Chains A and B, each alone.
Chain A
Amino acid sequence: MSDSIVEFSNVTKQFGNHRAVDNVSFVVRKGRIFGLLGPNGAGKTTSIRMLTYILKPDSGSIKMFGQPVGPETQKKLGYLPEERGLYKKMKVGEQLIYLCRLKGFTREKARSQIRYWLERFGALDWIGQEVGELSKGMQQKVQFIATIAHDPDCLIFDEPFSGLDPINSEMLKEAILELRDAGKTIFFATHRMEQVEQLCDDIALFNKGKLILQGDLTEIRSSYGLNSIRLRFSGDSRFLNNMENIRINNRSTNYAELRLLEGANDQLILREAQRHVRIHAFELVQPSIQEIFIDSVSK
């Protein structure tokens, strides 16, 4: 593919006896948000560390913009690690300029970029403050600026929403979508499936080091067809426990997602539900990512 930005080919990485990443191949295209999904320890962070050239694969190859990853590709890459961190005793401006220059920017270019972004986030006043003096939310913003200030073509966000309050989460989501629209390629790693549905164009599902499913999110979901039910109700939902041939996901006091398995009859379920609870909504839908993940793992 001509517009492929990142290419993993048969990549394997082992730590002692543990295979963190096992023969993984995928391609990421330009201008897409690519979701790396899977539970903790599935191999997402190890894959990212190889892409950022922090770790080297034991076998296989990783290419970015057609060339093997290395110091050159590092410059075109912005990385927001899952565990955030900055130099606590360094001033915000100094620190951002330093990190930007490590990516190959000149001092002048770095300075103007950083002023632009600080201003944009309403944070220009912090420029002379030590990072350790800032609140956690402010530090998150500074770290986000550090990730994007050198205008990288490829961005990697590892669990970007963890620890953010709703307002900052929303701001970050908007910023990510804006970067995508500006033609950046974005990696987005998470174990929180519901975030994926709102942001990702493509996904790669990891489990125990293996890539178990990948592709365009919409295509994947439609390939499953309308095999799930979204049920909103009030009343006693214990009748669901006795239903056969279904799997229940995301169940709460007045909501449930039901996956129809072999031999299940949606009309039968509707009738049964009517007998037990007051129905607010009953909808046949495509499966959720969580359901797709569970389904893929069990295969």
Chain B
Amino acid sequence: MTFDLIQKEKLFLIIQREYLTRLRSKIFIVTTILAPVVMILLLILPTLIQTMTAERERQFLVYDETGEVGSGLVANDSIYYKLTSDAPDELRTRLINGSIEGYLVIPHEILDGQGKVTFFHGGTAGMTVTSRIRSDVQQIVRDIRLDRLDTPAEVRAILADRVQTENLTITAEGTEEADSGFFMLLGFVMGFIIYGAMFGYGAVIMRSVMEEKTSRIVEVIASSVRPFELLMGKVTGVALLGLTQFAIWAAAGAGIMMIAGPIMALFMESGAIHEQPVGASTDAAAFSIPSIDPFIWISFVLFFLLGFLIYSSLFAAVGSAVDQESDSQQLQMPIIMLIIIPLMFLFPVSDDPASTLSVVLSMVPFFAPILMPVRMAVIQIPFWQLWGTVLLMILTFVVLIWMSARIYRTGILMYGKKAGFRELWKWVREN
């Protein structure tokens, strides 16, 4: 059985309804405002939490056999470290009954390059504390040992020296740009936005199909248009909605950037006017983002659209097969897995976007919407890989929408029956 020719006026009417009713809905307005806020919070919250919790005062007792290292630690930070003459056994008891937070035992042979400093603590010390103690002890022990050998200042300088390295990216035009890691971040953000969009808009499609089915309006609609037209109208309408939302965010983002630059410059100027009146403007300039190739934006939209089409046809099939949301869990599982898998490879792919693993994963049509933009932000994707993937995604969509339409037109008229995968496959085959 072939699809009937799509009736354009009717399709347009459906698209219009799907788009406009959602555009005016509260949920659209709320998510448009809240999504960027949540995203920004997620980005800055970890740092915020860390700076807030790091304030807590802690003190560790130091049992020092050398007579030198301990006093060096206390000289560094007399609150953090405190010398003690109590025996380690005594300290252990105090630690167990909770009257001290932890203690260090520094053996005398440590200054001969032997033995080890032991840090006792209750529970887990935490990474920050451990690394701080390690570096403090390391520095003091090293200085004392250098002192003992009467090491000349030049040697100490060499030891303290850090070799400078710099990353420069050569762009296609042959110019050099500092690789600030910005593009990697950009790739991550793009991947995450598409990931969120697949889920969010996928759920919109699924619910919308389910709503038409459970409210039974679908039978009235189906007596006016072909189910395939309804399905395509719905998918297109929601895709347009997604693009609208992106456009709003992009416009808002650009607006903020434009306003934020001069304001930032203003603040820096007034704050630093006496010390470095010339440097202020360069600092403000460093705040603006590096230029992003417009092609990256275009590809981002392209991969969002293709990914949306692929996943929404799957979600629509699920929505048509169930009567209520709770029944959809089982059928949704594989789709959710397909969206989550590329997320697990986000780091390895952005770390080495040209590896075989990255190339193969990013060309799988189900993973491409998330992984290809991640790679694209960081490196130049070879022509065949890019357009090959686009072609594969289009083919996947055509196959899926064909299958989905078959499930859909059976499912929307089927009530009170919870269909499993086997049942769905039957609908695809027999229709």
* A contacts, CB < 8 Å to B: 16, 49, 52-56, 70-71, 74-75, 77, 79, 81, 83-90, 98-99, 101-104, 143, 146
- Closest B-chain residue to A77, C-beta based? B223
Query: Could you give 16 example pairs across A and B, Cβ below 8 Å?
Result: A49-B413, A52-B222, A54-B219, A54-B222, A71-B226, A74-B224, A74-B225, A75-B224, A86-B220, A87-B212, A89-B21, A99-B220, A102-B10, A102-B14, A102-B225, A104-B9
* A99 and B219 in contact, given A54-B413, A56-B1, A70-B4 (Cβ under 8 angstroms): no
B286 on interface, CB distance cutoff 8 Å: no
A54 to B224, CA, bound (A): 9
A257 to chain B, nearest CB (A): 35
Known pairs A56-B1, A98-B13, A101-B13; A71 contacts B215 (CB<8 A): no
Q: Is the CB of B223 within 8 A of A52?
A: yes
Q: Which of B1, B216, B227, B413 contacts A84 (CB 8 A)?
A: B216
Residues of B within 8 A of A49 (CB): 219, 413
The answer to whether B1 and A85 touch across the interface, beta carbons within 8 angstroms, is no
A102/B219 in contact, CB under 8 A: no
Known: A54-B413, A81-B223. 14 other contacts (CB 8 A): A53-B223, A54-B219, A54-B227, A71-B225, A79-B220, A83-B219, A84-B216, A86-B220, A88-B211, A89-B21, A90-B21, A102-B10, A102-B224, A143-B220
Contacts of A85 in B (CB 8 A): 215-220
With A49-B413, A54-B413, A102-B10 in contact, is A74–B215 under 8 Å at CB?
Answer: no
* Chain A CB within 8 A of B221 CB: yes
Give CA–CA (A166, B401) in the complex, Å: 46
Q: How far in angstroms is the closest Cβ of chain B from A184?
A: 16
Q: Check B216–A102 contact: CB distance below 8 A.
A: no
Residues of B with C-beta under 8 A to A81: 216, 219-220, 223
Q: In the bound complex, what is the Cα–Cα distance between A101 and B222 (angstroms)?
A: 14
A212 to B223, CA, bound (A): 27
Residues of A within 8 A of B227 (CB): 54
Q: How many A-B residue pairs have CB under 8 A?
A: 68
Q: Does B7 contact A (CB under 8 A)?
A: yes
Closest to B10 in A: A102
Chain B: which residue is nearest A146 at the CB level?
B220
Contacts of A87 in B (CB 8 A): 212, 215, 217
The CA-CA distance from A104 to B223 in the complex, in Å, is 12
B17 close to chain A: CB less than 8 A: yes
Asked if B1 and A71 sit within 8 Å, CB to CB, the answer is no
Q: Which of chain B's residues 163-219 have a Cβ closer than 8 Å to chain A?
A: 211-212, 215-219
Which residues of B (1-20) have their CB < 8 Å from a CB of A?
1, 4, 7, 9-10, 13-14, 17
Q: How far is the CA of A52 from the CA of B224 in the complex (A)?
A: 8
Complex Cα distance A55/B222, Å?
Answer: 9
When C-beta atoms are compared, the residue in chain A nearest to B215 turns out to be A85
Most buried by B among A52, A75, A85: A85
Decide: A71 and B219 in contact? CB cutoff 8 A. no
- Taking CB atoms, residues of chain A closer than 8 Å to B413 are 49, 54-55
Residue-wise interface mask of B (215-253) relative to A, using a CB-CB cutoff of 8 A (1 in contact, 0 not)? 111111111111100000000000000000000000000
In the bound complex, CA of A75 to CA of B415 (Å): 26
Closest Cβ of chain A to B219, distance in Å, is 4
Bound Cα distance from A81 to B415, whole angstroms: 14
Q: A79 → chain B, closest Cβ, in Å?
A: 4
A277 CB to nearest chain B CB (Å): 46
Interfacial chain B residues near A16, Cβ < 8 Å: 426, 430
Complex Cα–Cα for A98 and B18 (A): 11
Q: Which residues of B contact A89 (CB under 8 A)?
A: 21, 25
| Smallest CB-CB A-B distances: 8 pairs | A85-B216, A102-B224, A52-B223, A85-B217, A83-B216, A79-B223, A81-B219, A85-B215
Of chain A, the residue at the smallest CB distance from B226 is A71
Assess the A102–B221 pair: CB atoms within 8 A. Answer: yes
Cβ contacts under 8 Å, B211 to chain A: 88
Which chain A residue lies CB-closest to B17? A98
What is the CA–CA distance of A90 and B25 in the complex, to the nearest angstrom? 11
- Interfacial residues of chain B within 75-126, with CB under 8 A of chain A in the complex: none
Inter-chain contacts of B217 with A (CB < 8 A): 85-87
Residues of A within 8 A of B426 (CB): 16
Rounded to whole Å, the gap between the CB of B190 and the closest CB of chain A is 33
Q: Is the CB of A71 within 8 A of B7?
A: yes
Q: Which of A79, A88, A102 contacts B215 (CB 8 A)?
A: A88
**Residues of B385-426 whose CB lies within 8 A of A:** 413, 415, 426
Chain B: which residue is nearest A55 at the CB level?
B413
Question: Which chain B residues border A56 with CB–CB below 8 Å?
Answer: 1
In the complex, what residues of A have CB within 8 A of residue B222's CB?
Answer: 52, 54
The smallest C-beta distance from B44 to any residue of chain A, in angstroms, reads 36
A146: which B residues are within 8 A, CB to CB?
A: 220
Distance from B202 Cβ to chain A, minimum over Cβ atoms (Å)? 20
Within the assembled complex, what's the spacing in Å between the Cα atoms of A292 and B13? 47
Cα-based distance from A103 to B225 in the complex (angstroms): 8
| Alpha-carbon gap, A77 to B222, bound state (A) | 12
Give every chain A residue within 8 A of B212 (Cβ-Cβ): 87
Give Cα A81–Cα B226 distance, bound, in whole angstroms.
17
Rounded to whole Å, the gap between the CB of B431 and the closest CB of chain A is 10
Q: How far is the CA of A98 from the CA of B218 in the complex (A)?
A: 13
Q: Which residues of A contact B25 (CB under 8 A)?
A: 89
Chain A residues with CB under 8 Å of B220's CB are 79, 81, 85-86, 99, 143, 146
Are A103 and B224 in contact, CB atoms less than 8 angstroms apart? yes
Select which of B1, B224, B226, B430 is within 8 A of A99 by beta carbon. B224
